[in-house]
A and B are shown apart, each in its own frame.
Chain A
Amino acid sequence: ILNVEQSPQSLHVQEGDSTNFTCSFPSSNFYALHWYRWETAKSPEALFVMTLNGDEKKKGRISATLNTKEGYSYLYIKGSQPEDSATYLCAHDQMNNNAGNMLTFGGGTRLMVKP
């Protein structure tokens, strides 16, 4: 995998459903994997930064796992609510030797939760 890929591109679920998305990234030169939540007309909001193989992070009903050896991360949402409707972005972090994060973003998964 040369680029960061996310699937599915979009997802419609009913309120209360649990769902998950996939982020695939190059497994070489890995430093960190970021997840962001982006609501329309707002700023992307950081959810998780994951650095270690096997990492699991949780924030309320949202959790994420990381497999750096095979180059994928899953984002899970338990009991989806309409306010979870947003685009979820992942980004592969390759550190620049001069400092600063070099993020390569996937195309995002657009989640729509119907009441």
Chain B
Amino acid sequence: ETGVTQTPRHLVMGMTNKKSLKCEQHLGHNAMYWYKQSAKKPLELMFVYSLEERVENNSVPSRFSPECPNSSHLFLHLHTLQPEDSALYLCASSQALVWSGDTQYFGPGTRLTVL
């Protein structure tokens, strides 16, 4: 295992529901990330948190709301999603401080289906 866990592994929700995805890393890292992989598309970076501060938001719709309460936990709160938001959501963490090139460690992902 990579040391990054995600729950739930599978989630089915209606368009009016509110749900949250959870990510936890046990590696002592200080940066955490949310990625989305839609069918037949590359992994796409959604959010970056470094030292619990959001440093990047790649023009993600406001129906996705991230939260990083501490360096080990990352949440993605979902509300009023659309069917096209159905995808695999991956969390990752890294020990990124000053230079790039640090390896990101990924969780197994949450498979989300929006009905």
Residues of A within 8 A of B (CB): 4, 31-32, 34, 36, 41-46, 49, 51, 89, 91, 93-96, 98-108
Query: Are B2 and A99 within 8 A (Cβ)?
Result: no
Query: Looking at B53, B55, B90, B107, which has the most chain A CB atoms within 10 Å of its CB?
Result: B55
Answer yes or no: B69 CB below 8 A from chain A CBs.
no
Comparing B59-67, B70-78, B79-87, B94-102, the segment that makes contact with chain A is B94-102
| Bound form: Cα–Cα A25–B106 in Å | 22
Which chain A residues lie closer than 8 Å to B45 at the CB level? 102-104
Residues of B within 8 A of A (CB): 1-2, 4, 30-31, 33, 40-45, 48-51, 53, 55-56, 90, 94, 96-109
- The 6 residue pairs across chains A and B that have the minimum distance between CB atoms: A95-B100, A32-B101, A31-B100, A98-B55, A105-B43, A100-B50
Which chain B residues lie closer than 8 Å to A43 at the CB level? 1-2, 4, 90, 105-109
| Bound form: Cα–Cα A40–B100 in Å | 28
Query: Are B100 and A32 within 8 A (Cβ)?
Result: yes
CB distance from B89 to the nearest CB of A (A): 13
Which chain B residues lie closer than 8 Å to A95 at the CB level? 99-100
Which chain A residues lie closer than 8 Å to B96 at the CB level? 99-101
- Given A4-B42, A44-B106, answer yes or no on A99-B51 (Cβ-Cβ < 8 Å): yes
Which chain A residues lie closer than 8 Å to B42 at the CB level? 4, 104-108
Which chain B residues lie closer than 8 Å to A104 at the CB level? 42, 45
| Bound form: Cα–Cα A98–B51 in Å | 10
Which chain B residues lie closer than 8 Å to A4 at the CB level? 42
Which chain B residues lie closer than 8 Å to A42 at the CB level? 108
What would be 5 A-B contacts, judged by CB atoms less than 8 Å apart?
A44-B106, A49-B103, A96-B50, A102-B56, A104-B42
Query: Are A100 and B33 within 8 A (Cβ)?
Result: yes
Beyond the given pairs A99-B30, A104-B45, A108-B42, 7 more chain A to chain B contacts, judged by CB atoms under 8 angstroms and listed by A's residue number, are A31-B101, A46-B104, A49-B101, A49-B102, A95-B99, A98-B53, A99-B51
